[in-house]
């Protein structure tokens, strides 16, 4: 099969996904969140064939990510002291990722934004504003696990596959983007779950992730009020879909609920297991992989 995929065929797959969303009679009381999840399920199924046809090799994905990262690093101030520490914690999580061909790099931008994001090919960025909100290395591991998961699950590269592999793919990518309302939120929750798995595999206290998300979420409620009507919620979803690649990921109440449920299930299955917090590690910027401190273990 030729590597030059027919753009019309891929577009037809995307259109089929959109049309299928509206088939069937919805229940009387349906929130925009549930509609978004239905849309995500239909879109994901319809889009998988096109994404398989246009799959990008790891080396090409890493080359794209490195190019994008260079552009960001050139225009920002970085924090080398934080970067050494963050990279050490990040690498302890990467060994539990499923895609073995990706070389991860960790960058810290010296700016007050409470933000973290990932680019294709394992380029992970954190802002010092978010780092200063953290109280333990376990909280850092939760954020890094989430961003690593976006790469590991191919969320980052899937945003670019069509334009990289299909003639006229830029138009397909734009069409794909508008059809991903709700799908982006699904990816956030999928990354939450996969990131939690990595943090747990590395031995970190899972409750730290919920603690950090809760603090940041509550602090933002006054500045970024949640939508009150279905139209406001749809507008918020649209804005998130178009901009969340380079914005922070404040967890919604639903994401926090699901994450807490997953942690509780893990606790039931691993009652009494020791997990690490690393308050002193974060304060000294010494990764747990280099030194463990007394009093930092908790039991599930």
Instruction: Tell me whether residue 196 is in a domain.
Output: yes
In a domain, 224, yes or no: yes
Using DSSP bridges, classify how beta strands 116-119 and 123-127 pair: parallel, antiparallel or unpaired. Answer: antiparallel
Residue closest to 143 by CA, chosen among 216, 54, 44? 216
Q: Is residue 130 part of a domain?
A: yes
User: Is residue 2 situated within a structural domain?
Assistant: no
Q: Using DSSP bridges, classify how beta strands 116-119 and 105-109 pair: parallel, antiparallel or unpaired.
A: unpaired
All residues at 6 or more sequence positions from 50 whose CB lies less than 8 Å from its CB, including other chains? 5, 10, 13, 14, 162
Number of domains in the chain: 1
pLDDT at position 162 is: 66
Of 139, 116, 147, the closest CA to residue 288 belongs to 139
What's the rounded Cα separation, in Å, for the pair 202 and 93? 6
Query: DSSP characters for 217-272?
Result: HHHHHTTSPPP-SHHHHHHHHHHHHHHGGGS--PPPHHHHHHHHHHHHHHHHHTTT
Task: Provide the residue range defining the domain that includes 18.
Answer: 7-299
**Per-residue pLDDT reduced to its tens digit, 47-102:** 565 556 667 899 999 999 999 999 999 888 888 999 999 999 999 999 999 999 99
Residue 216: the pLDDT is 81
Q: Check residue 94 and give its pLDDT.
A: 97
Residue 151, in any domain of the structure: yes
Residues of the chain falling short of pLDDT 70: 1-54, 162, 164-183, 219-251
In a domain, 1, yes or no: no
Is 143 within a domain? yes
> Taking the CA of residue 274 as centre, how many other CA atoms within 13 Å lie in the half-sphere pointing to its CB?
6
Query: Residue 298: helix, strand or coil by DSSP?
Result: strand
Q: What is the pLDDT of residue 220?
A: 63
As a whole number of Å, the CA-based R_g of the chain is 20
For residue 82, how many other CB atoms are within 10 A of its CB? 20
Domain-embedded: residue 219: yes
Query: What's the CA gap between 69 and 105, in Å, rounded?
Result: 10
């Amino acid at each position: 099969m030729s590597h030059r995929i027919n753009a019309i065929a891929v577009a037809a797959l995307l259109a089929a996904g959109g049309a299928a969303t509206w088939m069937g009679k919805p229940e009387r009381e349906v929130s925009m969140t549930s509609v978004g999840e239905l849309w995500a399920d239909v879109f994901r199924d319809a889009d998988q064939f096109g994404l398989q046809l246009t799959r990008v090799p790891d080396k090409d994905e890493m080359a794209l990510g490195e190019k994008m990262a260079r552009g960001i690093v050139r225009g920002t101030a970085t924090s080398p002291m934080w970067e050494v520490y963050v990279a050490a914690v990040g690498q302890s999580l990467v060994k539990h990722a499923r895609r073995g061909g990706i070389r991860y790099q960790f960058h810290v931008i010296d700016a007050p934004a409470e933000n973290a994001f990932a680019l294709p090919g394992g380029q992970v960025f954190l802002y010092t504003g978010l780092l200063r909100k953290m109280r333990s290395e376990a909280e850092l591991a939760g954020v890094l696990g989430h961003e690593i998961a976006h790469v590991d699950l191919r969320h980052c590269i899937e945003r670019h596959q069509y334009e990289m592999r299909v003639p006229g793919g830029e138009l397909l990518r734009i069409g794909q983007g508008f059809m991903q309302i709700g799908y982006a939120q699904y990816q956030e929750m999928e990354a939450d779950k996969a990131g939690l798995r990595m943090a747990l595999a590395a031995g970190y206290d899972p409750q730290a992730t919920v603690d950090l998300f809760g603090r940041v979420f509550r602090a933002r409620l006054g500045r970024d009020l949640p939508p009150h009507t279905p139209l406001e919620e749809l507008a918020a979803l649209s804005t998130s879909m178009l901009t969340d690649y380079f914005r922070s990921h404040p967890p919604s109440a639903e994401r926090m609920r699901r994450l807490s449920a997953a942690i509780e299930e893990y606790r039931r299955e691993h009652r009494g297991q020791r997990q690490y917090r690393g308050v002193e590690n974060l304060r000294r910027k010494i990764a747990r992989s280099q030194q463990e401190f007394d009093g930092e273990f908790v039991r599930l």
